[in-house]
Amino acid sequence: MSNPAHGLDWLIDDFVARVPAAQQAVVLSVDGLLMGASRNLAQAEAEHMAAVAAGFASLSRSAGRHFQRGPVRQTIIELETAFLLVTSAGQGSCLAVLAAADSDIGMVAYEMAMLVERIGHNLATQPRSTANAR
């Protein structure tokens, strides 16, 4: 998969190659638009992962606001054979990683934070407008 507009794919591929537990990864806007993905994901799978991650990120932000517990640091979904980790990656963007079930989740989260630190300032996205106001 290629995303020349943002040039993120090579950074995401490097992340997946360097972090043994990381199986697949995507960068997305908070409204679910795919911004970049690891090459081992087909376009449709990457778009689906972005949509799922956006949903979880939204639910997490809502819980933080509702219960007045502050902003979300990270969302971790434990599946039978994997973990899905979602974290903020700049204003209006997220990084989602699918990691093996036997992963050291702390290490995966640390590596995600390091990647976000490297690329986060380039990931600010503007919210999409829903209609032209007149």
| Confidence at residue 119, expressed as pLDDT on a 0 to 100 scale | 85
- In a domain, residue 2? The reply is no
How many domains does the chain divide into?
1
- In a domain, residue 107? The reply is yes
Domain residue limits at 48: 9-122
- In a domain, residue 1? The reply is no
* pTM confidence score: 0.86
| Confidence at residue 133, expressed as pLDDT on a 0 to 100 scale | 44
| Confidence at residue 128, expressed as pLDDT on a 0 to 100 scale | 54
- In a domain, residue 3? The reply is no
- In a domain, residue 96? The reply is yes
- In a domain, residue 84? The reply is yes
DSSP-derived secondary structure for 48-106: HHHHHHHHHHHHHHHHHHHTT--S---EEEE-SSEEEEEEE-STTEEEEEEEETT--HH
- In a domain, residue 58? The reply is yes
- In a domain, residue 134? The reply is no
- For the chain, 134 residues long, the average pLDDT of each consecutive 10-residue run is 62 96 97 96 98 97 95 95 95 96 96 91 59 46
| Confidence at residue 90, expressed as pLDDT on a 0 to 100 scale | 84
| Confidence at residue 134, expressed as pLDDT on a 0 to 100 scale | 40
What is the CATH classification number for the domain harbouring 32? 3.30.450.30
